A and B are shown apart, each in its own frame.
Chain A
């Protein structure tokens, strides 16, 4: 028998970004014992990287805004594949969640009359994003962290969960290891919340850190939960492209919200070339009107740079493919031009976008107040995830909940900027609340020791191999395959080829070899993360093959149009009896009449 420490909790929250922290805070407030598992140190999760802001219809800047407009914007942005109930709850509850952060010490930028300031962002009709310069995510995670540490939550830092354990149909616990010594930890829990974030590390060019290997998606899938919308991977239009070592690092949409424009090598604002039908009535047709919009002119329409991310990313790819890109295979993003419009532009830019200024100055020798940035698409966000009940956030496995990026539904085929931070807060809270309720109503499940032992042995196998691949190399090759074959522009033959590649990678994974011992061994950690990356990569590819149309973030070169006949459904990924991955089509639920009316009114 292997040795490991055993812990007992009512609720186990896996993941300590915005959603996990908010869930843990809520569960504790409901009077149950809670553990919070962080893959890194507390406060370092990817939420910290969020820049632009938290979308919430506070209507501090424009009183015409309300939850109905936010709801309609979110549904339009998601091409109506969203779970409408989640979109409704999100739009209604986000303002309270933001105000709650202020009560816990967050300091958002202010309006002239001392309220929370809101900024423009892509796809949002009115200025809606509560923000702190361009470091909103840091403010949010620090506020939750500093509030959370006084709530009696047990925090397990640098701990990675590798398997979920079940008792019959329901979830009963989780097995993980701590990085420092490589010791295993067994957590018995009545309810588990998955808040592990995204899958960005399945791609070569990504804004995501090493942690985002789809752990939660994969853990839930293997525990029998359904995944949904896995074909929808958001490629953020503006990542850094030069120098090579910073490729993929995010450049906030806030740059465009503050008046930044996209230019090709001919110095032409190409975003005016194509405006999607769904947005034609809301988009400016001339540069002056677009500028006025960014400066708060309430009668002006938004500039095409602030169209949804899926569309902007594709326009950039087209410019590059057709030979009008910048020297390093991107396009230009220029905020410095506003000096022709406002006095003290350099100071204004530094105040509004301090970390962008710092990031380009330091990493690329570019002064964004004087010259244009070079940008290109970067893998940023997973719209797909664990299918959950909209109100409770419980998955199809009893006792297993999910919130934030790891859960699916709110964003449909494409997420609006700013809707992620609000998603984390709204559904993090709900997941915490309902997980606590589940824990109170159910006893602890029984965990089969033999299963635990088998998982432990499996995790240690890479140490015993004397030949085999280096885990880093397998990961790099997987990232190359996904980037090349399942990227922004997809087609059938490449997707089929990706399936073959994944099969070969899975064989190599089964033979990866790890050197050294279990103490803080990054090679071992990478090897264990690979199983999750392989699972989510397969899910993305299978769903991308199945959806033979183009919609939102999923673009098929061989099926370039939206297909209302075959496409109005969600694709569900589930593990079959024989262990094979199955894709099922699920028709959209009929929307409530009052919500249909809102969408019609906002057209």
Chain B
């Protein structure tokens, strides 16, 4: 059986959808089809991939308009009576074909204050942590940095507020640091100002597309918003802060 694929071909200066037809077999994923097309019909087709097992987060694209990993999307999940539409992620500048420039993400991460542990608990320089105290952070650390959550987030995708908002991926990153049992750094002020957490209006699109099933909004973003609200918008604390600054 053959299936058709409409793949975006082009770079920042322009391009168009090209249709390719390729033989499909049981169990194939979208990335397999792209590889077949690349090897047989379009040697210069640009696509990122590495592990092909949903662990590295390289092959992010938009499949029939939905942000997904190409290696984890089986053709059997898609309607094949019409062409499968493959586009690059929209929230980032296009490099070529299915490859986008995601370097902004790496710049953002570098600006977030790094992990800072408390002094070791034991003589030998090690710490003690209970499993139940790290379960939540381990959920956040499952993130494979595919940036699909960034791609789907309307603050970045529609409003292009990359300068003011770090996006769901990095709110998860901050949450992993803030809720790490050993970490003693304070990132709450950054969250409010530089990270722009207020831009998130909890539409939960990021949670929906996360291939690692991280409960981004409920478990990471909302608790961080609570910390910001608690620090900056609690009326009693606000009064206390004014009082303290007068006394200084």
Contacts and interface: CB of A to CB of B under 8 A. Distances in A.
Interface of A: 40-46, 48-49, 99, 102-105, 107, 109-110, 113-116, 132-133, 135, 137-139, 142, 146-147, 149-150, 155, 157, 180, 209-211, 242-246, 249-250, 355, 358-359, 362-364, 470-473, 476, 514-517, 519-524, 526
A210 B71 CA distance: 14
A40 B32 contact: no
B48 A40 contact: yes
A48 B43 contact: no
Given A105-B180, A150-B114, A49 B53 contact: yes
Contacts of A526: 43
A149 B110 CA distance: 6
16 contacts: A44-B58, A45-B50, A103-B117, A110-B130, A113-B128, A114-B127, A138-B144, A146-B114, A149-B110, A209-B52, A210-B49, A244-B27, A246-B53, A359-B54, A472-B39, A523-B38
A107 B180 contact: yes
A460 to B, nearest CB: 15
B51 interface: yes
Nearest to B127: A102
Contacts of B103: 157
* Size range of the chain B interface in the assembly: 35 or more
B120 to A, nearest CB: 8
A157 B95 CA distance: 14
B16 interface: no
B26 A48 contact: no
Nearest to B98: A520
Contacts of B25: 243-245
Nearest to B109: A149
Interface string B26-67: 111100100000110001111111111111111000000000
Contacts of B130: 110, 114
A104 B115 CA distance: 7
Contact of A142 (B29, B32, B128, B141): B141
A105 B179 CA distance: 12
Contact of A115 (B26, B39, B74, B128): B128
Contacts of A209: 49-52, 56
Contacts of A519: 11, 46, 95-96
Contacts of A473: 39
Given A473-B39, A522-B46, A105 B99 contact: no
Contacts of A46: 50-51
B71 to A, nearest CB: 9
A476 B27 CA distance: 21
A149 B28 CA distance: 37
Contact of B99 (A109, A245, A359, A520): A520
A186 B102 CA distance: 24
Contacts of B131: 109-110
B136 to A, nearest CB: 10
Interface string B76-120: 000000000000000000011101011100100110001101001
Which of A45, A49, A105, A146 counts the most chain B CB atoms within 10 A?
Answer: A105
Which 9 interchain pairs have the tightest Cβ spacing?
Answer: A243-B27, A523-B43, A516-B44, A114-B128, A105-B115, A472-B39, A520-B46, A209-B50, A520-B96
Nearest to B107: A149
Given A42-B106, A522-B44, 15 more contacts: A44-B57, A44-B58, A48-B144, A107-B138, A114-B127, A147-B114, A180-B101, A211-B50, A243-B25, A250-B53, A519-B11, A520-B99, A521-B43, A521-B46, A524-B44
A39 to B, nearest CB: 9
B29 A245 contact: yes
Contacts of A48: 50-51, 55-56, 144
B3 interface: no
Contacts of B52: 209, 246, 249
B190 interface: no
A115 B96 CA distance: 47
